[in-house]
Chains A and B, each alone.
Chain A
Amino acid sequence: MALPETESPVSPRTDPPVDDPMAHSSSQDHRRGRMPLSRRRSRRREALIFLAFTIPNLTLIALFTYRPLLSNVYYSTLQWNMGSPTARFVGFGNYVRWFSDPHSWNYLRITAIFTIATVGGTILIGLLIATVLNQKLRGRNVARAVVFAPYVLSGVAIGLVWMFMFDPQFGVIAPVIRAFGMTPPNWYNSPGWALVMVIIVYIWKHLGYAAVVYLAGLQIVPRDLLEAAALDGAGKWRTFRSITLPLLSPMTFFLLVTVTLSSMQSFDMIHAMTRGGPVDGTTTLMYQIYREGFVTGRAGYSATVATILFLLLLGFTLLQMRFLERKVHYS
């Protein structure tokens, strides 16, 4: 531990005195325009320490994040069943099959509906709740915690609780709908309504996250700006639209990116509630990856869908960054 440190890491080039005997006998190195041996040595030492500190994490990331990304691409060229010792190379065959299968387009449609509805719903309702909680109200801190709580709970547990509430016979939602004089839809057996059901639960679980992000943003909106607008006679809605909303655009952007990503990969809730059914009504691309890989066991095909979904996610993220970030107002 008593090694000579050549420099402080945050303020480079302010080397403290080095009490290394070699430091004085290295004038030759200087003449040759090279750094003193001692410093070279301690730099190498620093580099080794750096590697010791980072290699475990980097190895794990390489092994379980980057490697499988490449493996996916390789697997996607194979007709190969999970666990089977033999595989057949089919080139782009899996992709051709995926794009020419009408089911795929249905899954893509369901993914799109699910993503747009959940992202839109989460962000809109989150913003609404944030503006409510941003007022000086008694108990708003408790309300903030309560609204956020579902976000930390297991998606499987949440899915099961809501599945029970949606139960057409013994659930609590059907009687409530009937109390308003309407006929409750068939959540369990209609593909369309099942999708609506899953969307509702997803929004319920995630809206607290959006609300808290927006609340943080609202704290930064300068009061005097709002007051000036009020004095100028701007209405509440007008003030909100032309002052608050633009100032919140970094939060909106952040939420668009993160909620889209998590929504497109959502699995546990769908699995707990519908297993992708009824009649594929809630089968998103993510669910198709699982089903092909681990239910029907077509690993090559599953890897194909995974590669397609990854490219979609990447494309969306880059698109959002490219086109939305320019419109974002950073103070």
Chain B
Amino acid sequence: MNGELARGGRGQVTLVRRSAESSASNPAGEQVKRLLTGYLPLVLAVVVMIAPLLWMLISSVKTRPEIFTVPLQWLPERPYGGNYAEVVDRYPFGRFFLNSVVVTAVGAGIKVLLAMFTAYALVFIRFPAKKLVFIVIIVALMVPPQVVVVPNYTLIADLGWQNTYLGIIVPGLGTAFGTFLLRQQFLTLPHAIIDAATLDGAGHWRRLWRVIAPISAPTIATVALVTIVSEWNEYLWPLIIVDRPEMMTLPVALTLMQNADGTNNWGVLMAGTAMVVLPVLIIFTLLQRHIVAGLTQGATTG
């Protein structure tokens, strides 16, 4: 037991490690324990997390009879592309995709810009009531967007913005979270850099773009990624504000596919689901370090 704990030690505790290791009477037993408390749960966790997604992919290339059969048929005879074809044929899937891309790109883009401007002003520009402005933003973090859907819906409906990009995007644009994260980052920047820029006579606009933004690029990228992921997955608001298929985003379209069949046609649904999930999974795989850091940021900065 001691050996297990001490083994993590670095160079400076070699003494501890040696004594601990020699006290482990049975190295083979240690090996077994490492397998049982380390690799076994690790593999179990990975399997539990991957299995549903794998099942989605496998089912998406099964024919109808292969899915609706008892007992269960684990694998298809051969990969069947018909479900994907049906998704694209029966629904304006390209249009759904375009809608999601537009909403995500425009929404996330504007949100990040707004967060940058607000955070910059909060840290670097003199203003008498700055603290109050900050409080207004922090308190907004406590208001869940989900509980204000009715009044926001009536406002957008009064503006006649149902079934428009404006209606989907605008209500979510105000950003308290991004502002908060960027402000935390800006506060850590070394004064010397900003002072130098000030003496150069650079105005705030130029300071933001030439000095602050470049050195904060990693944090801005993180905020952008987090915003993109949440915009892409956003569901309740676009569900409420859109009822015409040609304006639906992907998650909303998924429930449209679900409605269309009284009994769910799982093969087609899994194909649609895979097409929604895979782009995000690919981006996540490429950038997981930044995304994980961003999504869990509050834990270490707050």
Partners in one complex: yes
Which residues of A does B touch, CB under 8 Å? 1-3, 5, 7-12, 16, 43, 46-47, 49-51, 53-54, 56-69, 71-72, 75, 82-83, 128-129, 132-133, 135-137, 139-140, 142-158, 160-165, 167, 169-170, 172, 175, 204, 208-209, 212-213, 216-217, 223-224, 226-227, 229-231, 233, 235-236, 239, 250-251, 254-255, 258, 261, 265, 267-268, 271-272, 286, 289-290, 293-294, 299, 302-303, 306-307, 309-310, 313-314, 317
Chain B residue numbers with a CB within 8 Å of A226 are: 5, 8
Chain B residue numbers with a CB within 8 Å of A153 are: 233, 277, 280-281
Q: C-beta contact mask, B140-166 vs A, less than 8 Å → 1, else 0?
A: 101111111111111101000000000
Chain A CB within 10 A, most for which of B140, B147, B203: B147
The residue that B52 contacts in the complex, of A133, A143, A162, A236, with Cβ under 8 A, is A162
Which residues of B does A touch, CB under 8 Å? 1-2, 4-10, 13, 16, 20, 34, 37-39, 41-42, 45-46, 48-50, 52-53, 55-56, 59, 67-72, 114-115, 117-118, 120-128, 130, 133, 136-137, 140, 142-155, 157, 170-176, 179, 191, 194-195, 198-199, 201-206, 229, 232-233, 235-236, 239-240, 250-252, 254-255, 258, 264, 266, 269-270, 273, 276-277, 280-281, 284-285, 288, 291-292, 295-296, 298-300, 302
The residue that A1 contacts in the complex, of B6, B151, B202, with Cβ under 8 A, is B202
The residue that A293 contacts in the complex, of B34, B150, B171, with Cβ under 8 A, is B150
| Structural contact, B175 and A265, CB atoms closer than 8 A | no
**Residue ID in chain B nearest A51 by CB atoms:** B127
Q: Known contacts A169-B70, A230-B5: does B284 contact A164 (CB below 8 Å)?
A: no
Chain B residue numbers with a CB within 8 Å of A258 are: 298
Bound-complex Cα distance A96 to B202 (A) = 61
| Structural contact, B298 and A254, CB atoms closer than 8 A | yes
| Structural contact, A156 and B295, CB atoms closer than 8 A | no
Chain B residue numbers with a CB within 8 Å of A47 are: 126-128
Q: Known contacts A227-B16, A254-B299, A272-B258: does B235 contact A164 (CB below 8 Å)?
A: no
Chain B residue numbers with a CB within 8 Å of A255 are: 299
Bound-complex Cα distance A135 to B4 (A) = 9
Chain A residue numbers with a CB within 8 Å of B198 are: 5, 8, 16
The residue that B8 contacts in the complex, of A46, A59, A136, A314, with Cβ under 8 A, is A136
19 contacting pairs across A/B (C-beta < 8 A): A2-B201, A9-B126, A53-B125, A54-B121, A153-B281, A154-B254, A154-B276, A156-B233, A156-B255, A164-B270, A223-B8, A229-B5, A254-B299, A268-B251, A286-B146, A293-B150, A293-B153, A314-B142, A317-B142
Q: How far is the CB of B235 from chain A (nearest CB, A)?
A: 4
Bound-complex Cα distance A60 to B117 (A) = 14
The B interface is mostly helix, strand or loop, or mixed, namely helix
Q: Known contacts A1-B205, A289-B149, A303-B151: does B117 contact A160 (CB below 8 Å)?
A: no
Q: How far is the CB of B146 from chain A (nearest CB, A)?
A: 4
**Residue ID in chain B nearest A285 by CB atoms:** B147
**Residue ID in chain B nearest A220 by CB atoms:** B300
Bound-complex Cα distance A144 to B194 (A) = 38
Chain A residue numbers with a CB within 8 Å of B299 are: 213, 216-217, 250-251, 254-255
The residue that A303 contacts in the complex, of B150, B194, B266, B285, with Cβ under 8 A, is B150
**Residue ID in chain A nearest B58 by CB atoms:** A172
| Structural contact, A146 and B154, CB atoms closer than 8 A | no
Chain A residue numbers with a CB within 8 Å of B252 are: 156
Q: How far is the CB of A117 from chain B (nearest CB, A)?
A: 18
Bound-complex Cα distance A268 to B152 (A) = 18
**Residue ID in chain A nearest B53 by CB atoms:** A161
| Structural contact, B125 and A46, CB atoms closer than 8 A | yes
Bound-complex Cα distance A75 to B6 (A) = 62
| Structural contact, A83 and B157, CB atoms closer than 8 A | yes
Chain A residue numbers with a CB within 8 Å of B4 are: 236
Chain A residue numbers with a CB within 8 Å of B203 are: 1-3, 5
**Residue ID in chain B nearest A64 by CB atoms:** B171
| Structural contact, A165 and B55, CB atoms closer than 8 A | yes
Bound-complex Cα distance A299 to B46 (A) = 44
Bound-complex Cα distance A208 to B252 (A) = 25
Chain B residue numbers with a CB within 8 Å of A169 are: 70
Bound-complex Cα distance A331 to B257 (A) = 51
Query: With contacts A46-B125, A146-B46, A236-B5 known, what are 19 further pairs, Cβ within 8 A?
Result: A10-B123, A11-B195, A49-B121, A57-B179, A66-B143, A69-B143, A71-B150, A72-B151, A129-B45, A143-B45, A150-B49, A167-B266, A170-B70, A212-B296, A223-B13, A226-B8, A227-B5, A267-B235, A271-B236
Chain B residue numbers with a CB within 8 Å of A293 are: 149-150, 153
The residue that A10 contacts in the complex, of B155, B194, B281, B298, with Cβ under 8 A, is B194
Chain A residue numbers with a CB within 8 Å of B13 are: 223-224, 227
| Structural contact, B6 and A230, CB atoms closer than 8 A | yes
| Structural contact, A154 and B6, CB atoms closer than 8 A | no
| Structural contact, B175 and A57, CB atoms closer than 8 A | yes
Chain B residue numbers with a CB within 8 Å of A157 are: 251, 254, 273, 276-277
